[in-house]
Amino acid sequence: FMNKRPIIIDTDPGIDDAVAIAIALFSGELDVRLLTTVAGNVSLDKVTYNTLRLLQFYGKEVPVAKGADAPLIRPFLDASNVHGASGMEGFDFEEPDDHLLLKENAAEAMRRVILESDRPVTLVPIAPLTNIALLLKTFPEVKGNIDEIVMMGGSAARGNKGVMSEFNVATDPEAAKIVFDAGLPIVMAGLDVGWKALVLPEDSAKLPAMGEVGRMAYCLFQKYRGGSMKTGLKMYDSCAIAYLLDPGMYQMEETTVDVELSGSMTAGCTLVDLKGYLGKPHNAKVCMDIDQDRFRTWFLNGIEKCV
């Protein structure tokens, strides 16, 4: 792939982030220009440290920019119950140095990378959307060189943080609303497919033989509480990468998505308005279903390419 697709990944590693980033970096089809970090699974400092540890382990020289240490308005609540205290329990990474860490913050770095790019850049947020909201509000001039936003987030149905809210959107609902209302092309890979993007026991068993990254993934998966080894591990963030590399695995709906902000029990709920009750223009393509076997094959092939 001579002209690899330029992307920026906004992330909060996070065990599922870790393997999604690996598959993107080693795919040969994506030009990962920048990684930006945001408070989500664990604190900003921890997710940034984890990002640097991953890049050192993968041997990839991708610049990293630190972003928001908390949601725009609401208090920060992490998901260390799912990823462990460090956010990436289960594997002993070498200590990273911070030569990849930029002095710019996430919004500044994304603005520079987007405006410098000779081709429109795809934003791939797989974390709360605080950085993306700050970018679009602070530097709206970037919109002209953004191809689309392909996010892991939201849910057309039930939640995994609140009854009706998915973690990335529920962590910062105001940021999510800013992004969905920004007028940019959006692809939403939510829980509807994240819950079905499962690595089953027979898949996990193959990982240790798949080289260093496979072994690392296997170790992290022992500690990952997004599902279970037995019932299947939910590869939420890989769903966004899978859309970039093999969109045919999805059944998509072009529709309207809005975000509840004031519900005392439903704040952070993404209303996927398939019947147009809200009377608003379409603003997103939503992944409504996934070919589970095709995902599993894609995922294992993606890890196998991490050499």
The contact set with ligand RIB (CB under 6 A) reads 12, 14, 16-17, 40-41, 79, 126-127, 152, 160, 166-168, 236-237
Q: Which of 126, 164, 175, 235 is in the footprint of Ca ion by CB under 5 A?
A: 126
Please, which of residues 243-272 interact with Ca ion by CB under 5 A? none
232 binds, among ligand RIB, Ca ion, none (CB under 5 to 8 A by kind): none
Q: Kindly state the smallest distance separating residue 232's Cβ from Ca ion, in Å.
A: 18
Q: Kindly state the smallest distance separating residue 204's Cβ from ligand RIB, in Å.
A: 18
Q: Kindly state the smallest distance separating residue 16's Cβ from ligand RIB, in Å.
A: 5
54 binds Ca ion (CB under 5 A): no
17 binds Ca ion (CB under 5 A): yes
Count Cα atoms within 13 angstroms, Cβ side, for 200.
8
> How far is CA 28 from each of CA 2, 23, 59, 245, 277, rounded to the nearest angstrom?
9, 9, 15, 10, 42
SS3 63: coil
SS3 255: strand
167 binds, among Ca ion, ligand RIB, none (CB under 5 to 8 A by kind): ligand RIB
What is the DSSP-derived secondary structure letter of residue 165? Answer: B
Q: What is the SS3 assignment for 9-51?
A: EEECCCHHHHHHHHHHHHCCCEEEEEEEECCCCCCHHHHHHHH
What is the DSSP-derived secondary structure letter of residue 187? Answer: E
Residue closer to Ca ion (CB basis): 24 or 255 = 24
96 near 49, Cβ under 8 Å? Answer: yes
Q: Kindly state the smallest distance separating residue 122's Cβ from ligand RIB, in Å.
A: 17
Q: How far is CA 195 from the centre of its chain?
A: 14
Which one, of 171, 177, 178, 175, lies nearest residue 143 by Cα? 178
24 binds Ca ion (CB under 5 A): no
Q: Kindly state the smallest distance separating residue 127's Cβ from Ca ion, in Å.
A: 5
Residue closer to ligand RIB (CB basis): 24 or 126 = 126
Q: Kindly state the smallest distance separating residue 168's Cβ from ligand RIB, in Å.
A: 5
- Number of Cβ within 10 Å of residue 286's Cβ equals 26
What is the DSSP-derived secondary structure letter of residue 94? Answer: P
Q: Kindly state the smallest distance separating residue 11's Cβ from ligand RIB, in Å.
A: 8
Q: Largest Cα–Cα distance in the chain?
A: 53
78 binds, among ligand RIB, Ca ion, none (CB under 5 to 8 A by kind): none
243 binds, among ligand RIB, Ca ion, none (CB under 5 to 8 A by kind): none
Q: Which of 6, 9, 14, 238 is in the footprint of Ca ion by CB under 5 A?
A: 14
Residue closer to ligand RIB (CB basis): 6 or 226 = 226
Q: Kindly state the smallest distance separating residue 213's Cβ from Ca ion, in Å.
A: 18
Continuous segment of H or E residues that includes residue 107: helix 106-116
> How far is CA 185 from each of CA 101, 125, 145, 242, rounded to the nearest angstrom?
29, 14, 12, 17
172 binds, among Ca ion, ligand RIB, none (CB under 5 to 8 A by kind): none
Residue closer to Ca ion (CB basis): 159 or 273 = 159
The residue ranges that bind Ca ion (CB under 5 A) are: 12, 14, 17, 126-127, 237
